[in-house]
Amino acid sequence: MGETLDLNDTEVGAALTVRSRAGERLAGKYDLLKLLGAGGMGEVYRAENVLIGRIVAIKVLHPHLANEPEVVARFLQEGRAANLLRHPNAVDILDVGQDDRGTPFIVEEFFEGKDLGQAIDQAGGKLPWQETLELLLPVVDALAAAHARGIVHRDVKPENVFLAEEGGRVVPKLLDFGISLLSHSTSPRLTAPGTALGTPAYMAPEQVLGANLDVRVDVWALGVLFYEVLSGVLPFESDTPNGFIIQIATGKPRPLSEVAPQVHPELAEVIMRCLERAPEARYGDAARLGRALRMARLSMDSETEAPPTPVLPERRLTAASFDLDLPVPEPPKPQAPKPARRVDVTAGIELETVAPMIVRAPWRPLAAPASIHPERPVVRGLGFAVFAVAGFGLLKWTRGQFLQEHLLAPYVRGVAGWMLLASTVVSAVLALGALLRGRRMWRDGEWTGGVIAMLVAWFFGMVAFEVGAIGGVSGLLGLS
């Protein structure tokens, strides 16, 4: 129990000396074995549940904070958030309780391994894109599940991504929901308006300014995380927390393609979209980001798996070659072609990742970026389709028996023709706009919206040609 740990408490702005409680027993069943670390709100111990012999991790609130209701509520909210999530790539909460002095504690899974920050340092500061996606895509999936349950993590960073060693393999785990937001919580608001919580280097512009937050702050933090792991540097760099805050609030991140030109352009484009200043310009949540990352990986895999075509050396024939009496070799026996590895890999990816995306993708997912509205070309196109049909009907009406000999009939037919030609141009423009919008939504993983937008493009393209062009020319010929 004589072990101590000095730290700077970022929550209260004071330097503290934490005295280890190793050797104590909590709630009559948890033996604290070793102090693993400490932060602004509490200490983390390696412990054992003596009733079942299981090794666990226990986070204990600092004793001097146990009498502050807001701090206690925020501390216990971590347990509620992680328990609500229940994802294989997020830490699992096993128990919550209080010690004999009323200090709350949280019992979590204990992992053997290292955090992502340590892994980056051991690898020389950055990781290749294949390993980066392998380690961080499960974290993106965990955050996607959190966002679907109304949980905003707010503190995504390398130290909160733990690479647990389980059964000879590495399983990424998302840790520390201590400052998370629960949108469906009935408890009072734990963060006052204008208050910024988080790690400055990974905070979004709206987060450092203390504005209203949603799940897109986690999308920003994931962008910073990918940027750092792939390039070895942060998109904004400073020696002080205030320096980070000023740069993030006023500046623009350096393009990843300039800092790390070895990163594939399609992957760099996905990451830079996460770092857009305007929240509505980013991916709407982690699920959409995950789909875009998998599409980029599919594209990069197809490029890396295609072997270069071998260049055979040129064979020069001389006159002497024809003087030789060489035996004619027997033609090789045909062999059954072996299935290409490209087909197997692609099929596996389509079954495991693309198919679930098609099933789960809604028509207009929650918190969609404001710039994507697949229904707008539908509404506009319907209006101009009605306009075209009206002109077509007017053209037919002038050919009726009643107006067959009327002096104004040719001029009315001419007006109808011009109406239909105008509809042709507008419908063609709408068809092109819907086609481009559908292509963008398809690339971003918006499968349903992209397909509908492309169908809209096809439909109004047909309206432009059949109703507008043919009817318009007929009306103008009737004028002559």
Same-domain status, 89 and 151:
no
Q: In the listed set 76, 109, 142, which residue is the last one of a domain according to the structure?
A: 109
Per-residue pLDDT, 31: 97
CA 369 to centroid of chain Cα atoms: 13
Nearest Cα residue to 41 out of 189, 201, 155, 209: 155
The last residue of a domain, from among 56, 80, 109: 109
Q: Has residue 189 been placed in a domain?
A: no
- Is 252 in the same domain as 179? yes
Same domain, 243 and 160: yes
**pLDDT at res. 195:** 47
In this prediction, residue 198 carries a pLDDT of: 78
pLDDT at 353: 35
Q: Is residue 129 part of a domain?
A: yes
> How many domains does one find in the chain?
3
**From 141, 155, 218, 444, active-site residue:** 155
Residue 385 and residue 407 share a domain: yes
Q: Is residue 30 part of a domain?
A: yes
**104-109 β-sheet, strand order:** 25-26, 30-38, 42-49, 54-61, 104-109, 93-98
The reply to whether 118 falls in a domain is yes
End-to-end CA distance of the chain: 104
Reference 284, options 191, 373, 198, 208; nearest CA is 373
Asked if residue 359 is part of any domain, the answer here is no
* 125 and 230 within one domain: yes
* Cα–Cα distance for residue pair 231/137, rounded to 1 Å: 17
285 assigned to active site: no
Per-residue pLDDT, 301: 86
CATH assignment of the domain containing 48: 3.30.200.20
> 158: domain range?
113-183+197-301
**Which tokens go with 442?**
């398809």
- Give domain status of residue 433, yes or no: yes
- Residue pLDDT tens, the chain, 480 long: 445 444 444 333 344 567 899 999 999 999 999 999 888 889 999 999 999 999 999 999 999 999 999 889 888 888 888 888 889 999 999 999 999 989 999 999 999 999 999 999 999 999 999 999 999 999 999 999 999 999 999 999 999 999 999 888 999 999 988 888 887 544 444 444 344 577 899 999 999 998 889 999 999 999 999 999 999 999 999 999 999 999 999 999 999 999 999 999 999 999 999 999 999 999 999 999 999 999 999 988 887 665 555 555 555 545 444 444 445 556 666 665 544 443 333 333 333 333 333 333 343 343 434 344 444 555 555 665 666 666 556 555 555 544 455 555 666 666 766 776 776 777 777 777 777 777 777 676 666 766 776 677 667 667 666 655 565 555 555 544
Residue 53 shares a structural domain with residue 141 = no
In this structure, the answer to whether residues 463 and 400 fall within a common structural domain is yes
Same domain, 259 and 395: no
- Which position has the token pair 């006052």? 192
pLDDT of residue 275: 97
Residue 326 lies in a domain: no
Note whether 158 and 47 are same-domain residues.
no
The answer on 105 and 202 residing in a single domain is no
Nearest to 96 by CA among 112, 72, 113: 72
The answer to whether residues 143 and 266 belong to one domain is: yes
Residue 291 lies in a domain: yes
Which residue, 284, 301, 318, sits at the end of a domain? 301
Identify whether residues 97 and 163 lie together within a single domain.
no
Count of CA atoms in the C-beta half-sphere (13 A) of 217: 30
